[in-house]
């Protein structure tokens, strides 16, 4: 019996009761026809109308029976009404859980109505070109390339667990760049586990979408790229202090690692202080100083040395260890053989249209080749400054043009210029036992200039000029200077 049937049944019984009550009050017989309810009331079966005979006692019994039937129907009605309420509550809960699709400059987002679950699909695509005018040696070809093609899938689970999955198909390769879970029950401490950037190189930690220059500077050579591990991190005092402590498998300089080959692990720490983070002055609030370090042990093998080559901004090799790639042996291949430690003081300053990024890195590694062993100290430093010509705010996360071509108030977008100087010095003890002085430079000095145009918040066009001078690295003295023109068309959302 549904709700409408219960309501009709209740009305019929009440009409029958009214007839019986009238007979009782009048104390006189009433014909069956006279006891029929008004036409407006629902029809009542003839057997349900009290008979003319039987007297007052019979009518009283009829009223008692009718009251019992009415109570039963009321109980059924309450059950039906509760079922209706539960059904409505279920529908409301389902509506709250329903996914809400959103599309915009932040990517394509599928989010639950309560915001506790969401998935965002974004991407970074960088179409580059490299031109090396004056490269008579033809060691590097002028080329067009897809530097990075990275789908970026991020999401939130239960409002306090984030995840990220980002592969890369750039340069004709397929690799997993980032894959991690991030748990953040409180703002002052978070837990991240998986494959991601260790907390060390300041420029390395900066997103590729936000780089002022097409390629990172020389200091990034001495920082690990990606590693597998776990870290705790957070902020204190309203963002004045940022801290990170992590343990990782132990990637070499400029290298990415997907798994460890020994039981040793690297410890990584980073501390950043923004003393004026709470200041109202925009000039001071963007100032920060920091220090980062790693400590671990690496033991390589001829087939997996645990050492990396260093590159110029044009991605040509500046320094490499001796190695016989055809038939590597302990005698002819240099491998990591002991403690590895890094230290990096850092500085950044963002004030309105101005940005400054500076860091120094010292990387110390024990190496061996056959019976020869040594501890080598490689160091690098760089300073990069950028300025927004249209007054748009420069930040560590890049520029967001206020008046792009597709803005509500359209404009010419944001224009940015950048200058960078950096140096890389290999330990002189590397030569000649561990590195070939005819192929590896002992020093590299880079000067770079960049011009970027941001027609919208998702597009960027960049042109760089990079000049790198070398000390050593040739059979007869110094390697010729490297001049490079790098361009980039970037879509990021």
Q: What is the DSSP string of 305-352?
A: -S---EE-TTS-EEE-----SSS--TTTS-EEEEEEEEEEEEEEEEET
How confident is the model at residue 260, as a pLDDT? Answer: 87
At 15, is the pLDDT very low, low, confident or very high (cuts 50, 70, 90)? Answer: low
Q: Is the bond preceding 312 in cis, omega lying within 30 degrees of 0? A: no
What digits encode the pLDDT tens for the residues 62-103? Answer: 667 767 776 776 777 677 677 777 777 776 666 556 666 888
Question: CA-CA distance, 177 to 491, in Å (whole number)?
Answer: 18
Q: Residues 7, 41: contact at Cβ < 8 Å?
A: no
At 107, is the pLDDT very low, low, confident or very high (cuts 50, 70, 90)? Answer: confident
Q: What's phi and psi for 300, nearest 5 deg?
A: -90, 170
At 288, is the pLDDT very low, low, confident or very high (cuts 50, 70, 90)? Answer: very high
Q: What is the mean pLDDT of residues 368-385?
A: 97
What digits encode the pLDDT tens for the residues 422-476? Answer: 999 999 999 999 999 999 999 999 999 999 999 999 999 999 999 999 999 999 8
At 300, is the pLDDT very low, low, confident or very high (cuts 50, 70, 90)? Answer: very high
Q: What is the mean pLDDT of residues 413-420?
A: 97
Q: Is the pLDDT of residue 282 over 90?
A: no
What digits encode the pLDDT tens for the residues 303-325? Answer: 999 999 999 999 999 999 999 88
Question: CA-CA distance, 28 to 20, in Å (whole number)?
Answer: 11
Q: Which position has the higher pLDDT, 86 or 335?
A: 335
Question: CA-CA distance, 440 to 116, in Å (whole number)?
Answer: 53
How confident is the model at residue 445, as a pLDDT? Answer: 98
Q: What's phi and psi for 11, nearest 5 deg?
A: -65, -40
Q: Which residue has the tokens 């240099």?
A: 334
Q: Is the pLDDT of residue 118 over 90?
A: yes
What percentage of the chain carries pLDDT values higher than 70? 84
Enclosing H/E stretch for 58: helix 55-97
What digits encode the pLDDT tens for the residues 145-186? Answer: 999 999 999 999 988 899 999 999 999 999 999 999 999 887
Residue 26 tokens read as 């009048």
Q: Is the pLDDT of residue 26 over 60?
A: no
How confident is the model at residue 31, as a pLDDT? Answer: 43
How confident is the model at residue 47, as a pLDDT? Answer: 45
């Amino acid at each position: 019996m549904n709700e409408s049937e219960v309501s009709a049944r209740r009305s019929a019984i009440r009409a029958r009761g009214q007839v019986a009550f009238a007979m009782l009050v009048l104390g006189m017989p009433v014909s069956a026809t006279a006891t029929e309810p008004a036409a407006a009331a629902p029809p009542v079966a003839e057997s349900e109308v009290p008979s003319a005979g039987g007297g007052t006692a019979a009518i009283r019994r009829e009223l008692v029976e009718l009251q019992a039937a009415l109570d039963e129907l009321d109980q059924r009605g309450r059950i039906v009404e509760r079922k209706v309420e539960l059904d409505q509550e279920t529908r409301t809960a389902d509506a709250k859980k329903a996914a809400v699709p959103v599309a915009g400059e932040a990517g394509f987002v599928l989010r639950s109505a309560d915001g506790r679950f969401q998935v965002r699909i974004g991407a970074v695509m960088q179409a580059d070109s490299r031109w090396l005018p004056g490269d008579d040696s033809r060691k590097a070809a002028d080329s067009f390339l897809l530097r990075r093609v990275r789908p970026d899938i991020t999401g939130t689970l239960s409002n306090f667990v984030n995840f990220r999955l980002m592969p890369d198909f750039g340069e004709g390769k397929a690799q997993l760049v980032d894959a991690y879970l991030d748990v953040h029950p409180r703002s002052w401490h978070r837990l991240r586990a998986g494959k991601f950037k260790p907390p060390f190189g300041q420029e390395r930690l900066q997103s590729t979408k936000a780089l002022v220059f097409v390629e990172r500077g020389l200091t990034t050579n001495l920082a690990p790229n990606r590693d597998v591990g776990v870290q705790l991190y957070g902020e204190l005092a309203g963002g004045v202090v940022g801290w990170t402590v992590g343990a990782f498998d132990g990637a070499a300089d400029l290298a990415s690692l997907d798994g460890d080959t020994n039981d040793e692990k690297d410890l990584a720490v980073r501390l950043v202080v923004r003393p004026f983070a709470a200041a109202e002055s925009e000039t001071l609030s963007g100032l920060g100083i920091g220090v980062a370090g790693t400590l671990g042990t690496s033991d390589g093998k001829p087939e997996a040395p645990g050492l990396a080559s260093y590159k110029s901004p044009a991605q040509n090799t500046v320094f490499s260890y001796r190695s016989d790639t055809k038939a590597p042996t302990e005698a002819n291949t240099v491998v990591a053989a002991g403690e590895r430690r890094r230290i990096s003081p850092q500085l950044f300053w963002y004030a309105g249209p101005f940005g400054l990024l500076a860091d120094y890195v010292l990387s110390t590694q024990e190496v061996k080749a056959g019976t020869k062993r040594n501890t080598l100290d490689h160091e690098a430093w760089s300073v990069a400054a950028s300025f927004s010509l249209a007054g748009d705010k420069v930040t560590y996360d890049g520029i967001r043009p206020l008046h792009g071509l597709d803005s509500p108030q359209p404009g010419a977008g944001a224009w940015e210029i950048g200058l960078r100087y950096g140096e890389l010095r290999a330990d002189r003890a590397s030569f000649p036992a561990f590195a070939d002085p005819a192929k590896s430079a002992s020093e590299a000095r880079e000067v770079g200039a960049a011009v970027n145009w941001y027609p919208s918040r998702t597009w960027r066009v960049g042109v760089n000029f990079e000049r790198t001078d070398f000390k050593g690295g040739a059979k007869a003295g110094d390697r010729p200077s490297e001049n490079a023109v790098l361009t980039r068309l970037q879509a990021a959302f």
